[in-house]
Amino acid sequence: MSALFTPLKLRSLEINNRVWMSPMCMYSAAPEGAETGVPTDFHLAHLASRAAGGAGLVMVEATGVRPDGRISPWDLGLWNDRQQEAFARITAAIGSHGAVPAIQLAHAGRKASVDKPWLSDRYVPASAGGWQTVAPSPVAYDGLPVPHELTVEEIQQLVRDFADSARRALAAGFQVAEVHGAHGYLINSFLSPAANHRTDAYGGSFENRLRFALEVVDAVREVWPEHLPVFFRTSATDWLSENPADEREGWTGDDTVCLAKELQARGVDLLDVSTGGMVRDATIPAGPNYQVPFAAQARNQAGIPTAAVGLITDPRQAEEIIASGQAEAIFLGRELLRNPYWPQHAALAVGAEPTWPDQYAYVVRHRRR
């Protein structure tokens, strides 16, 4: 029996397989007016097609908990009724194909207010629809402006913003909420000494640098139902300490294990393990499975369920990750953009039964042309 296509139960939620769609920004929401941050027909088709393609869980891209928390002016948000109503249509479409609708709640911090990556990826100033960025410390990300250093009162408001967006996500029909704590965005920048130079209760010691992340998790878990899971996405390493030639202090895999233990104690059910994003010039040894050891380390040393991500492209490769106990699930990104039906073909490749929609199954199984 295929490990990859064995259901996974987290709390009372059963996910029908271990092949999940990773959150990927599409930069396709309207930037201005009443439709700012609202998902469109593009998002509906984009996400529902991956559910029809057999993904067990479909995660909506990084969704800003407030207008200035988005990566770009064209990103999704969840802070008002109009956005919530539009997301309800999408969760219904995902669920109609047997997949679990999930959403990643995020604040981009010092890496916010940038252009679409296929245009320039440069900072968008207020005069062009952008905004002042914020961070734990006035330390700029390479090529972007120096951010505003958050006050304690502003930090506490951000915690409330995450909770408010989680409430709206639940009302919109999502069954999993993921807190985005990776890739150099706001929560990740509090965690890493490469970006957090504070000397108050939110900086300095390891425990203080964890404080904001844990407060956000506590706030989300408080409003999220007991029977539904909460995920946390982490960058398990900044890829600074792994490079002997780089003297900058960064976040490490061992740090992630300590964080994972704290997260699990606060009700986080799965750690979504990525890496990098804190600095632009980190040396990253990208290749097949290059991030999987970090998922395995957190799983084995902290005892928390994990999902692996990054250059997982072959069904047998994915099957081995799950069967060998390195992670509970895999998240696919680019591979699902190339082929929305990858899970259906992967099932055949590892000896499992595909779950084609009836409208497709008749043709796929019974017609040669």
Point out the residues that are catalytic.
185
- Classify the C-alpha dihedral 73-75-76-79 as positive or negative: negative
Q: How far apart are the first and last CA of the chain?
A: 31
Q: What is the 3-state secondary structure (H, E, C) of the chain?
A: CCCCCCCEEECCEEECCCEEECCCCCCCCECCHHHECCCCHHHHHHHHHHHHCCCCEEEEEEEECCHHHCCCCCCCECCCHHHHHHHHHHHHHHHHCCCEEEEEEECCHHHCCECCCCCCCCECCHHHCCCCCEECCCCCCCCCCCCEECCHHHHHHHHHHHHHHHHHHHHCCCCEEEEEECCCCHHHHHHCCCCCCCCCCCCCCHHHHHHHHHHHHHHHHHHCCCCCCEEEEEECCCCCCCCCCCCCCCCCHHHHHHHHHHHHHCCCCEEEEECCCCCCCCCCCCCCCCCHHHHHHHHHHHCCCEEEECCCCCHHHHHHHHHCCCCCEEEECHHHHHCCCHHHHHHHHCCCCCCCCHHHHHHHHHCCC
Q: Report d(CA 106, CA 65) in Å as an integer.
A: 6
Q: Report d(CA 165, CA 159) in Å as an integer.
A: 10
The CA distances from residue 232 to 9, 179, 262, in Å, are 17, 5, 12
Query: In whole angstroms, what separates CA 54 from the centre of its chain?
Result: 19
Tokens, residue 293: 């050891």
